[in-house]
Amino acid sequence: MFELGEAPYTDTDEKWDAFVKQHPHGSLLQTAVWARLKSRFGWTSKRVTIKEEGQIVAGAQMLFKSYAWGMIKIAYVPHGPLVDWHNKELVELLFNQLDTAAWQDRAAILKMEPLLWSDEFSPADWDSLNTANGNVSPTDSIQPPRTVRIDITKTEEEILAAMKQKTRYNIRLSAKKGVTVRRGTKHDLNAFYQMMFMTGNRNEFGVHDKEYYEVAFNQFNEFAKGSVALFIAEHNDKPLAGVMAFAWGKQGSYLYGASNTEGRELMPTYGVQWEAMKWAKAQGCEFYDMWGVPDYDRDHLEENFQQNNAGLWGVYRFKRGWGGDVARTVGPVDRVYNNLTYRVYKWRRGE
């Protein structure tokens, strides 16, 4: 017998995070710590749950934010909800909980981006589920739906062997050229941000303010020990590249990476990424997520990456060399509570 979670949510952050960690589709974006991070930047949060015999069996952490001078308020479930998508009764109960929570916070739109891989749920079944439950799909995404995932359950030698030859060569070249990699501390965050700023300008993508990276690093260090690590690649004591990686459950994630404009010929991004990957493996992760490539299938990516450099195309050239598989989630879906506001939202998003 399923039990609906009480409002306000009374379980501890630790109990919720334990549920997220063991769930097959759990993600650090559904953790209590992630909500703490987002709360510093204009978001509020709440959780909904369904229990069975006192244990959480499904749930979602919702984020809320207003846009356009308060005219548009959206609810957002990044990498969620967490539910057995094949259990129709459970899915329907959870959607009812989400609708109630969205209504209580006067959200006009609920956007969900489950970390549910397309090879686990056929497109036909996913379309049927969304049609039956009144969801709008396809729609715009906030998190990149397509990524490269690397199996890190193998030995380090096997992981290296699965990489493209040039990537292996560049890892070794970086060390041969005298680049060293060390674990960073909060005192390295300023240098890391400066490199993030340069990388964003060079590859034409936006970056967060410096405070965002500081809060992310400090919050995960304080409330989820062992879940974040900063790595800095240096040459003659000068920072050349950095990676902020996260480990949660079975997945390691390369969320933020940066490099200096100078010293790129020393291949510091390869040495620092390899150290981050080995760290994720040491934390017990089974996969390392490179977090975002252009949303095309592998054949299209391979045929076009040499001619394209803008946005995620530029980083695909780097990410493809690490021996992973191109994977895609089932994609985002929306639940619409106000059609007029939804049309304004889509207009602002350029649809």
Calpha distance 247→254 (Å, rounded) = 9
SS3 201: helix
**Tell me: the pLDDT tens digits for 105-150?**
999 999 999 999 999 998 899 999 999 999 999 999 999 999 999 9
pLDDT for res 321: 96
**What value does the mean pLDDT take over residues 52-65?**
95
Q: Where in the chain is the domain with CATH 3.40.630.30?
A: 2-143+330-348, 146-328
State the pTM of this model.
0.94
What is the C-alpha to C-alpha distance for residues 269 and 159, in angstroms, rounded to an integer? Answer: 17
Report domain 146-328's class.
alpha beta
SS3 94: helix
DSSP state of 107: -
Average pLDDT over residues 164-186: 97
Report the distance separating Cα 242 and Cα 321, nearest Å.
18
pLDDT band with cut points at 50, 70 and 90 for residue 242: very high
Average pLDDT, the chain: 93
The answer, yes or no, to whether residue 154 has pLDDT greater than 70, is: yes
In the structure, what pLDDT confidence band is assigned to residue 1 with cuts at 50, 70 and 90? low
> How is 128-193 classified by DSSP, letter by letter?
HHHHHTT-B-S---SS-SEEEEEE-SS-HHHHHHHS-HHHHHHHHHHHHTT-EEEE--GGGHHHHH
- Rg for the chain, CA atoms, rounded: 21
Axis-axis angle for helices 189-203, 210-223 (nearest 10): 130
Q: CATH class for domain 2-143+330-348?
A: alpha beta
Over the stretch 292-335, which tens digit does the pLDDT of each residue have? 999 999 999 999 998 887 777 888 999 999 999 999 999 999 99
Terminal-to-terminal C-alpha distance of the chain: 42
